[in-house]
């Protein structure tokens, strides 16, 4: 039943268009969508089945089952069943709430309305009721209810525009088009009633489509017309469910895929369940604890058998025979197994789930990770690996849109052998950070490009300015011939070459022109690069106005121009090029643009401009610019028609896409080079600082990019991935033997760097990487070097190679993180332990595939170094503490067996056992694991007088925080020795609790009411002591207190226990009956609790003091420094206090961790004092030097005027060089007469100051 609700059909589509009745229903699934997991009948069994996939739940189910047998269990079954039901119930309630939400969503979607065409009329129906083969009428801004083949549209050309942001996050419009034949048959003009379709709409046609697949652009099909003709369909005709119709009044289409067969549902696969390293380690430790538990049970059972064998003859009530001796031993084993099951905490897993959900909430709401540019907060899309964020060892980053803004600026263009732009001089851009351009930014949508390109010569050529006639008429003599010599285009002058170049920019693209107010055009396209080039052509006078299925329109210097668009071959990451075939004034032209390595390989020999362009491209790459080559060729009419015939002949082939790719590949050869473009992509804010801190945190950063080696190297230097003191080793050879030599040389360099303790980096090209990783020996040597480098840059790599590089490192048991913003980064994001997607200009595919989503790369700093570090520490300490508190609780049960003739009797009351983990001890621990902070870098301003010092202290601490990251990287907390230490503490503390409780109560003494201290008294006293020990220990180890911590500790732990303590007095037939009343009257009760806590926590405090004094960590140093600084600020007179403190330390020969900051503050104060002395000295010089010419001079450090002067004149300034090359400006004014006198002073007006600064008149 469950499977049938989500049935899929993997058969090839063969169906009837406009079928009546149930012609297509029997083969294909309905359009009813069901994303919910359960219904009323299936919820309980399926949800329970899911819960028992966890081994811990199976373990506690086993405990509950055997505890239900009275012959085995010394405990009430409720003590095992209640916690299990509570834990399962919480998880199932969460599942139910999530599934109810999915049901509501499903019902809303299935009930949405659409318009079906039946018998030439429009009929309203629901999405759930449409079927394969139905004709639909879709209006503008309407969402497609299923995957549809467009048959006709508003436009005669059959073109329509769709937005697929709900599928891939791309907001740019995509053109789709009906084929001519269906546009003619199913189209209608606007004069007809929309309720009266063409009579042809009643015809039936056979259609074919390939089997459903998740690939969004993958579609191959055909339509068979009644006259026997067959027309091929492809992705250009497919409109996907979930997409919207835009800028088109209507379309008519036929449904090809429904329900689970649609692309969006095929992509809606369940997310991978990731398990963190800590959780994996915890599961192994639980197995170890289970082994210890079994050994303890076996030991107790053996001792029980021994005692029975030894004592049964002395006790007539013990009846033992050879037949029941073995049975009694087995029963004893399982009885002890029930008593000792608290070694494994039942609420640990569900508590961790709650904590991780809260951690995700704080990540999602962090104001420091809010991107104003994107209007996006950080988003945690999984909660299972929060602590893994604090253990990352390798970060793999895309470049474009991840480290850079993906906001392109058109910088240079090469046309022929002439460079245009920036005054024809390539400016050095050592750090391509984002500049502030004089372009108004559209706040509604992040802009893809800016245009500040200026070149008077190019503009003069385009605009036919007389003064540039010589440059315009510069001879070229470029003759472009078709391969069969039947067509020729001769480019005689630079102006004609410029025309072809700009026509290429404005026509060879996939952009859509959206017209706004005042005829303004906004281009939308598949990539920012594409938009930038079309935008550049528009700004240079070649304005692309739009296109239909077979025509492009332009405005060139105010004149309208149309060309026939014959074919368009899209860009993809494998082709790395894009081309179009147009017919311009009867000439068939193929325009192509692409990566330089791809285009160069396809050029016709002896290109006249190639050498010049190659040299310039090398210069561009050194300053980090993105480059493309522009080329073209001419086709004769015969060549073009032959190409079309070959393409049409592929319609019936099973491998038509591969064969078409090969056909286009052959066409895009023998090209003529026209020029190149150079576009700058600015670095995002704080990228260099973020990467520097990641390297400081010992996180190795690898940049994976498709750019050429020189460009990648420069960007790596700009973002401080490669720093000045790094030794760079390169791998660029594509020949195996040469690569071996390069590897050997780099190996020697690598070893020398290790000896000299130099930092090192590797640059490797994609082709070299393939050779290195395919040879096992080379792979081992290269991997060893790469893993030892501080950074690695892989250039010219494909999306598949990115994932392979991540897998290479992941296989070495290193914690990896991959971050990117585009669809080409999805593979590596999914391959890494942690995948991070950036909200960018290239859609949402990366975000949708990621574990965490960020608005900007710089937020990685806080996600890893703060949230990641905190999550690791919190979860690690939580697990250790859970096992500690369960061990201290279990030990008295174990010890009591020695005092009860190994009879497997419980030391604690059943209800006390039940509530221990569920209520009394869990909430304070959950609150601590959610809110505790080891340390934070922000200093809250408590005294406005010293706000600047507080700000500097925040920056100082932030610079130290990367040093703290090693806590998680080296897994210093959740380790086997630490686990044994905490578990050992629990064992020792359990011993103390049992024996001190036992020793301090004299069972022979009676109180005033004649009651004596019995077994129940010992039990509840020990239990109460354990509650206080566990809670006070949490308080001691809590570093950051909040109101929630206090409430959970005092009210929801100790408070609830005290309330239960008194209520349990009324429970008949339990240990608690009458016992609480006796205990509150007994001084021993209070003394035992106080004594136990004193012994245990004095010991803890001594251990902690020794650790902090002799084994202090960077965290301890920061905490100490923060306290020291706060104390100074609280007392006031911060500067004097700092000076006294430092003087005392110097006298004692001490130097602490934070002294460099205090010394920096003092140095700045001294510099400020020296600066003031210079100002005062200048004041005295002016008073004496210019007294004859000016009234008494009023000097100040601002623009305040001299009120003593009646006639005012322009401001006079003196600039003084102060400390750190700063400039202090002193202002004063003179009257007009005094000013004239001053001007008459000759060169003697220069101030006789040591710095010889000149007084000048503005």
Tens of pLDDT along 324-374? Answer: 667 778 888 999 998 998 998 888 888 888 899 899 999 999 999 999 888
Biggest CA-to-CA distance, the chain: 132
Q: Can you spell out the DSSP letters for 394-407? A: EEEEESTTTTEEEE
Does residue 442 carry a pLDDT above 50?
no
| Cβ partners under 8 Å of residue 1124, min gap 6 | 1141, 1154
Interhelix angle 869-896/976-1000, rounded to 10 degrees, is 40
| Cβ partners under 8 Å of residue 66, min gap 6 | 72, 73, 334, 337, 338
Q: Which CATH class is domain 373-402+688-855?
A: alpha beta
Does residue 1204 carry a pLDDT above 80?
no
Higher per-residue confidence, 487 vs 841: 487
Burial class of residue 125 in the structure, from the number of CB atoms within 10 Å of its CB (0-12 exposed, 13-18 middle, 19+ buried): middle
The answer to whether the beta carbons of residues 1034 and 1095 sit under 8 Å apart is no
Least confident piece of the model among 102-111, 155-164, 1192-1201: 1192-1201
Does residue 880 carry a pLDDT above 60?
yes
* 3-state class (DSSP) for residue 502: helix
Q: Which CATH class is domain 405-424+452-680?
A: alpha beta
pLDDT-based confidence at residue 3 (cuts at 50, 70, 90): very low
CA–CA separation, 1218 and 1173 (whole Å): 10
Q: Give the pLDDT confidence score for residue 959 in this predicted structure.
A: 81
Q: Can you spell out the DSSP letters for 737-783? A: HHHHHHHHHHHHHHHHHHHHT--EEEEEEHHHHHHHHHSHHHHHHHH
Higher per-residue confidence, 427 vs 166: 166
Q: Is 706 annotated as a binding residue?
A: yes
Q: Give the pLDDT confidence score for residue 268 in this predicted structure.
A: 65
| Cβ partners under 8 Å of residue 595, min gap 6 | 576, 577, 628, 629, 706
Q: What is the mean pLDDT of residues 285-294?
A: 91
Higher per-residue confidence, 1143 vs 254: 254
Q: Is 22 annotated as a binding residue?
A: no
CA–CA separation, 620 and 615 (whole Å): 9
Q: Give the pLDDT confidence score for residue 436 in this predicted structure.
A: 32
Q: Give the pLDDT confidence score for residue 1196 in this predicted structure.
A: 43
In the 8-state DSSP scheme, what is residue 706?
Answer: S
pLDDT digits (tens, 9 = 90+) for 17-57: 876 545 555 578 889 988 788 888 888 888 888 888 777 78
pLDDT digits (tens, 9 = 90+) for 84-123: 888 888 888 878 887 888 788 888 889 999 999 888 888 9
Least confident piece of the model among 155-169, 693-707, 708-722, 1128-1142: 1128-1142
Q: Is 1130 annotated as a binding residue?
A: no
Alpha helices by DSSP H, 1001-1082: 1015-1037, 1043-1049, 1056-1063, 1075-1080
Does residue 908 carry a pLDDT above 50?
yes
Does residue 295 carry a pLDDT above 70?
yes
pLDDT-based confidence at residue 1214 (cuts at 50, 70, 90): very low
Could you count the other beta carbons within 10 Å of the beta carbon of residue 198?
A: 17
| C-alpha dist (Å) from residue 1145 to 139, 1159, 1166 | 79, 12, 19
Q: Give the pLDDT confidence score for residue 1179 in this predicted structure.
A: 59
The answer to whether the beta carbons of residues 906 and 893 sit under 8 Å apart is yes
Could you count the other beta carbons within 10 Å of the beta carbon of residue 638?
A: 13
| Cβ partners under 8 Å of residue 970, min gap 6 | none
The answer to whether the beta carbons of residues 1074 and 1068 sit under 8 Å apart is no
Active site residues: 398
Could you count the other beta carbons within 10 Å of the beta carbon of residue 559?
A: 7
Give me the sign of the Cα torsion angle 1152, 1153, 1154, 1155. Answer: positive
Q: Give the pLDDT confidence score for residue 594 in this predicted structure.
A: 92
Q: Is 707 annotated as a binding residue?
A: yes
Could you count the other beta carbons within 10 Å of the beta carbon of residue 859?
A: 23
Does residue 170 carry a pLDDT above 80?
no
The answer to whether the beta carbons of residues 926 and 352 sit under 8 Å apart is no
CA–CA separation, 79 and 1162 (whole Å): 65
| Cβ partners under 8 Å of residue 116, min gap 6 | 122, 123, 124, 125, 130, 134, 135, 136, 137
pLDDT digits (tens, 9 = 90+) for 992-1038: 999 998 888 765 555 555 566 678 888 999 999 999 999 999 998 89
- Percent of the chain with pLDDT strictly greater than 90: 34
Q: Is 50 annotated as a binding residue?
A: no
Residue with tokens 């251990």: 1103
Q: Where are the domains of the chain?
A: 9-30+130-266, 32-112, 373-402+688-855, 405-424+452-680, 867-1130, 1188-1257
Tokens of 932: 């505790």
Closest CA to 6 of 260, 258, 213: 260
pLDDT-based confidence at residue 842 (cuts at 50, 70, 90): low
pTM: 0.77
How far separated are the first and last CA of the chain, in Å rounded?
Answer: 89
Q: Is 99 annotated as a binding residue?
A: no
pLDDT-based confidence at residue 1166 (cuts at 50, 70, 90): low
Q: What is the mean pLDDT of residues 486-490?
A: 92
Does residue 317 carry a pLDDT above 50?
yes
Q: What is the mean pLDDT of residues 909-923?
A: 88
Q: Is 681 annotated as a binding residue?
A: no
Q: What angle do CA 992, 994, 1000 make, to 5 degrees?
A: 90
Does residue 936 carry a pLDDT above 50?
yes
Pair type for strands 173-177 and 205-209: unpaired
CA 354 remoteness from chain centre = 22
* 3-state class (DSSP) for residue 836: strand
Find residue 542's DSSP bridge partners. Answer: 556
The answer to whether the beta carbons of residues 681 and 408 sit under 8 Å apart is yes
pLDDT digits (tens, 9 = 90+) for 780-832: 999 999 999 989 999 888 888 899 999 999 999 999 999 998 877 888 998 99
* 3-state class (DSSP) for residue 979: helix
Q: What is the mean pLDDT of residues 454-483?
A: 89
Q: Give the pLDDT confidence score for residue 10 in this predicted structure.
A: 65
Closest CA to 696 of 967, 960, 431: 960
Higher per-residue confidence, 957 vs 776: 776
Q: Which CATH class is domain 9-30+130-266?
A: mainly beta
Q: Is 398 annotated as a binding residue?
A: yes
Query: What percent of the residues of the chain are helix, what percent strand, and what percent coil, each to the nearest 5?
Result: 50, 20, 30
Pair type for strands 727-731 and 404-415: unpaired
């Amino acid at each position: 039943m469950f499977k049938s609700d989500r049935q899929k059909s993997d058969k090839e589509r063969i169906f009837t268009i406009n079928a009546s009745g149930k012609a297509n229903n029997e083969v294909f699934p309905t359009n009813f969508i069901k994303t919910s997991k359960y219904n009323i009948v299936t919820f309980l069994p399926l949800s329970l089945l899911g819960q028992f996939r966890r081994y811990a739940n199976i373990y506690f189910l086993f405990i509950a089952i055997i505890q239900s047998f009275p012959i085995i269990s010394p405990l009430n079954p409720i003590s095992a069943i209640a916690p299990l039901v509570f834990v399962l119930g919480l998880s199932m309630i969460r599942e139910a709430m999530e599934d109810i939400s999915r049901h509501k969503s499903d019902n809303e979607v299935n009930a949405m309305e659409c318009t079906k065409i039946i018998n030439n009329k429009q009929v309203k129906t629901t999405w759930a009721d449409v079927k394969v083969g139905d004709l639909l009428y879709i209006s503008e801004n309407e969402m497609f209810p299923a995957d549809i083949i467009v048959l006709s549209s508003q436009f005669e050309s059959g073109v329509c525009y769709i937005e697929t942001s709900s599928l891939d996050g791309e907001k740019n419009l995509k053109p789709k088009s009906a084929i001519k034949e269906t546009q003619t048959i199913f189209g209608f003009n606007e004069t007809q009633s929309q309720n009266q379709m063409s009579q042809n709409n009643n015809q039936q046609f056979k259609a074919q489509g390939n089997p459903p697949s998740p690939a969004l652009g993958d579609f191959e099909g055909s339509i068979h017309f009644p006259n026997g003709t067959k027309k091929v369909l492809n992705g250009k005709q497919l409109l996907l469910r979930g997409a919207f119709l835009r800028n088109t009044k209507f379309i008519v289409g036929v449904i090809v895929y429904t329900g689970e067969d649609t692309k969006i549902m095929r992509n809606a696969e369940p997310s991978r369940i990731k398990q963190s390293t800590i959780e994996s380690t915890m599961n192994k430790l639980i197995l170890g604890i289970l082994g210890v538990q079994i050994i303890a049970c076996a030991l107790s059972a053996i001792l029980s058998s021994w005692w029975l064998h030894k004592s049964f003859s002395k006790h007539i009530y013990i009846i033992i025979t050879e037949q029941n001796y073995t049975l009694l031993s087995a029963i004893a084993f399982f009885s002890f197994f029930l008593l000792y099951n608290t070694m494994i905490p039942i609420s640990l897993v569900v508590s961790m789930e709650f904590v991780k959900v809260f951690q995700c909430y704080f990540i999602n709401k962090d104001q420091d990770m809010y991107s104003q540019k994107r209007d996006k907060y950080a988003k945690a899309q999984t909660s299972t690996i929060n602590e893994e964020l604090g253990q990352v060892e390798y970060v793999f980053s895309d470049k474009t849109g991840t480290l850079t803004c993906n906001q392109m600026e058109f910088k240079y263009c090469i046309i022929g052998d002439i460079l245009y732009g920036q005054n024809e001089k390539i400016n050095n851009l050592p750090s391509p950070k984002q500049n502030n351009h004089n372009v108004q930014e559209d706040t509604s949508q992040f802009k893809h490009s800016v245009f500040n390109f200026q070149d008077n010569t190019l503009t003069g050529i385009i605009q036919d300015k007389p003064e540039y006639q010589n440059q315009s008429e510069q001879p070229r003599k470029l003759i472009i011939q078709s391969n069969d010599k039947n067509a020729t285009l001769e480019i005689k002058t630079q102006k004609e070459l410029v025309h072809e170049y700009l026509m290429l920019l404005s026509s060879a693209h996939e952009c859509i022109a959206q017209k706004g107010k005042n005829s303004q055009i906004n281009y939308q396209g598949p990539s920012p690069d594409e938009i930038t080039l079309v935008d550049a052509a528009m700004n240079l006078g070649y304005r692309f106005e739009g296109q239909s299925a077979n025509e492009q329109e332009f405005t060139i210097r105010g004149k309208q121009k149309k060309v026939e668009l014959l074919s368009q071959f899209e860009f993809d990451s494998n082709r790395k090029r894009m081309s179009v075939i147009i017919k311009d004034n009867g000439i068939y032209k193929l325009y192509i643009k692409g990566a330089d390595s791809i285009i160069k390989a396809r050029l016709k020999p002896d290109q006249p401009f190639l050498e010049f362009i190659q040299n310039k491209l090398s210069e561009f790459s050194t300053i980090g610019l993105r480059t493309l080559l522009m080329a073209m060729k001419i086709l004769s009419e015969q060549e073009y028609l032959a190409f079309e015939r070959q393409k049409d002949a592929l319609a019936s082939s099973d491998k038509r896409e591969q064969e078409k790719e090969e056909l286009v590949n052959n066409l895009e050869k023998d090209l003529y080079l026209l020029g190149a473009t150079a576009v700058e992509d600015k670095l995002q804010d704080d990228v260099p600082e973020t990467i520097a801190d990641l390297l400081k945190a010992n996180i190795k950063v690898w940049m994976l990019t498709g750019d050429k080696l020189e460009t990648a190297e420069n960007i790596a230097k700009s973002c401080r991935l490669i720093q000045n003191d790094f030794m760079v080793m390169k791998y660029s050879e594509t020949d195996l033997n040469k690569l071996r030599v390069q590897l050997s040389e780099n190996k020697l360099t690598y070893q020398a760097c290790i000896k000299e303790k130099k930092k090192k980096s590797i640059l490797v090209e994609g082709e070299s990487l393939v050779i290195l990783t395919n040879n096992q020996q080379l792979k081992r040597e290269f991997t060893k070097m790469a893993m030892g480098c501080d950074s690695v840059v892989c250039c010219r790599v494909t999306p598949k190679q990115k994932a392979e590089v991540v897998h290479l490192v992941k296989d070495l048991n290193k914690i990896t993180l991959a971050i990117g913003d585009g669809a080409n980064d999805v593979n590596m994001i999914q391959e890494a332990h942690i995948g991070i997607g950036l909200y960018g200009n290239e859609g949402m595919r990366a975000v949708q595939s990621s574990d965490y989503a960020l608005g900007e790369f710089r937020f990685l700093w806080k996600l890893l170094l703060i949230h990641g570090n905190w999550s690791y520490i919190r979860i690690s300490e939580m697990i250790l503490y859970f096992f500690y508190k369960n061990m201290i609780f279990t030990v008295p049960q174990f010890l009591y067996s020695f005092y009860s003739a190994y009879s497997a009797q419980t030391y604690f009351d059943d209800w006390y056992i039940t509530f221990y983990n569920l209520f009394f001890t869990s909430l304070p621990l959950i609150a601590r694991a959610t809110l505790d902070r080891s340390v934070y870098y922000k200093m809250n301003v408590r005294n406005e007088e010293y706000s600047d010092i507080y700000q500097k202290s925040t920056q100082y601490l932030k610079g130290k925080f990367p040093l703290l990251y090693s806590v998680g990287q080296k897994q210093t907390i959740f380790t086997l020795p630490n686990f044994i230490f905490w578990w050992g503490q629990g064992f020792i503390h359990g011993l103390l609790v049992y024996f001190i409780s036992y020793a301090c109560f004299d069972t022979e003494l009676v109180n005033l009411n004649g009651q004596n201290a019995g077994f129940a008294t010992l039990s509840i006293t020990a239990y109460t002591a354990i509650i206080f020990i566990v809670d006070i220990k949490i308080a001691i180890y809590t570093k950051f207190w909040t109101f929630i911590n206090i409430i959970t500790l005092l009210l929801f732990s100790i408070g609830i226990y005290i309330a239960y303590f008194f209520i349990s007095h009324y429970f008949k037939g339990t240990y608690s009956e009458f016992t609480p009343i006796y205990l509150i009257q007994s001084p021993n009760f209070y003394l035992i609790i106080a004594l136990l806590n004193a012994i245990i926590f004095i010991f803890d405090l001594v251990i902690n003091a020794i650790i902090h004094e002799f084994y202090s960590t960077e965290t301890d140093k920061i905490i100490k420094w923060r306290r020291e600084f706060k104390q100074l600020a609280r007392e006031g007179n911060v500067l004097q206090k700092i000076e006294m403190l430092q003087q005392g330390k110097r006298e004692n020969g001490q130097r602490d961790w934070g002294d460099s900051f205090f010394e920096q503050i003092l140095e700045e104060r001294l510099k400020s004092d020296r600066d003031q002395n210079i100002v005062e000295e200048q004041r005295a010089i002016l008073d004496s030097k210019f007294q004859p010419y000016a009234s008494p001079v009023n000097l100040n450090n601002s623009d305040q005027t001299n009120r003593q002067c009646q006639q005012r004149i322009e401001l006079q300034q003196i600039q003084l060089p102060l400390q750190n090359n700063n400039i202090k400006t002193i202002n004063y004014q003179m009257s007009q007469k005094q000013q004239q006198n001053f001007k008459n002073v000759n060169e003697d007006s220069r101030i006789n100051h040591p710095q010889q600064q000149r007084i000048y008149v503005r």
